[in-house]
């Protein structure tokens, strides 16, 4: 990913910023956290309404509201419900649900991530299972074992996953890798290395996978280059300007073309 998920460094920088809120939770809850500013709570959520930064370490975190600065969290599970952040967002946690808007960049690492938020800047997501939607204005790098996207990417997408379902739309450069390295002694599940394209690809792109399906709802403009173990399945109704297929022949993605280095 272009943007490293260096969460500790992000927190240190946030804590050094004047006007930030710092909350350190010992994990026991029940008011044991030290708060430098009072906060309103509602239905189990901390409701933010401030112009500064907000940083928190430890425990599960539920947030709503508006934040004018940057948000930095290192936590257990995170539930951000319609949270609007004008600055950057950095989160390292367990399961993460985020809806709302990010005015800057978002860098998120977790177990299972459900991302349903607009991001004006760069987006980096890394997780085990990932569902992503929203309007993404900057370059995006997303990686997960199971990856489903219905987002609209305006400035390119770099996606890596064991299984990739790509809907929504992508403008700009597209690179998709599914099972980038072939393990000679591994028995693969039928869906391992599977890429399914169901949305709009505006400028073509490059895909390296074990299998590729272009569904009936897909619209592909420009040239899509595909490296796979078998020729892509193109379903009736799909609109494809130009698809170039190159047999992968058991090669790792980094060995088939320099675009995947």
Report pLDDT for 39: 63
Nearest-Å Rg of the Cα atoms of the chain is 20
State the Cα–Cα distance between residues 65 and 81, nearest whole angstrom: 8
State the Cα–Cα distance between residues 49 and 84, nearest whole angstrom: 10
In contact, 144 and 113? CB cutoff 8 Å: yes
What percentage of the chain reaches a pLDDT higher than 70?
Answer: 85
Place of tokens 């109704």: 237
Confidence band (pLDDT; 50, 70, 90) for 35?
very low
Confidence band (pLDDT; 50, 70, 90) for 187?
confident
Confidence band (pLDDT; 50, 70, 90) for 40?
confident
Report pLDDT for 184: 77
Query: What is the mean predicted confidence (pLDDT) over 167-191?
Result: 91
Per DSSP bridges, beta strands 45-50 and 40-42 are antiparallel
* Token pair in block for residue 138: 């900057």
Report pLDDT for 195: 98
Give the total residue count for the chain.
261
Instruction: Give the 3-state secondary structure of residue 255.
Output: helix
Report pLDDT for 55: 96
Average pLDDT in the chain? 88
Q: What is the 3-state secondary structure (H, E, C) of 68-135?
A: CCCEEEECCCEEEEEEEECCCEEEECCCEEEEEEECCCEEEECCEEEEEEEECCCEEEEEEEEEEECE
Please say if the pLDDT value at position 229 is more than 60.
yes
What secondary structure letter does DSSP report for 259? Answer: G
Per DSSP bridges, beta strands 239-247 and 205-208 are unpaired
Name residues whose C-beta falls within 8 Å of residue 183's C-beta, 6 or more positions apart in sequence: none
State the Cα–Cα distance between residues 197 and 27, nearest whole angstrom: 42
Please say if the pLDDT value at position 82 is more than 50.
yes
Place of tokens 């930095």: 72
Please say if the pLDDT value at position 160 is more than 80.
yes
Query: What is the mean predicted confidence (pLDDT) over 136-165?
Result: 98
* Token pair in block for residue 238: 């799909």
Query: What is the mean predicted confidence (pLDDT) over 3-28?
Result: 39
């Amino acid at each position: 990913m272009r943007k490293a998920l260096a969460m500790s460094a992000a927190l240190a920088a946030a804590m050094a910023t004047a006007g930030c809120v710092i909350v350190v939770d010992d994990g026991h809850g029940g008011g044991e956290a030290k708060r430098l500013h009072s906060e309103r709570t509602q239905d189990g959520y901390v409701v933010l309404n401030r112009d500064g930064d907000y940083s928190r370490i430890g425990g599960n975190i539920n947030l709503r509201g508006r934040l004018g600065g940057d948000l930095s969290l290192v936590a257990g599970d995170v539930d951000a419900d319609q949270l609007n952040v004008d600055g950057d967002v950095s989160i390292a946690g367990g399961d993460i649900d985020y809806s709302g808007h990010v005015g800057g960049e978002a860098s998120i690492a977790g177990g299972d991530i459900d991302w349903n938020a607009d991001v004006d800047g760069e987006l980096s997501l890394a997780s085990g299972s990932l569902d992503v939607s929203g309007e993404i204005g900057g370059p995006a790098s997303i990686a997960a074992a199971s990856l489903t996207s219905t987002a609209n990417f305006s400035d390119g997408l770099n996606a890596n996953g064991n299984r990739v379902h790509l809907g929504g739309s992508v403008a700009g450069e597209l690179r998709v890798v599914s099972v980038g390295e072939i393990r000679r002694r591994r028995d693969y599940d039928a869906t391992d290395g599977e890429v399914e394209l169901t949305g709009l690809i505006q400028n073509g792109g490059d895909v390296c996978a074990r299998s590729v399906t272009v569904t009936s709802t897909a619209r592909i403009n420009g040239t899509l280059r595909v490296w796979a173990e078998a020729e892509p399945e193109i379903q009736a109704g799909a609109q494809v300007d130009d698809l170039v297929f190159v047999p992968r022949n058991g090669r790792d993605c980094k060995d088939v073309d320099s675009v995947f280095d």
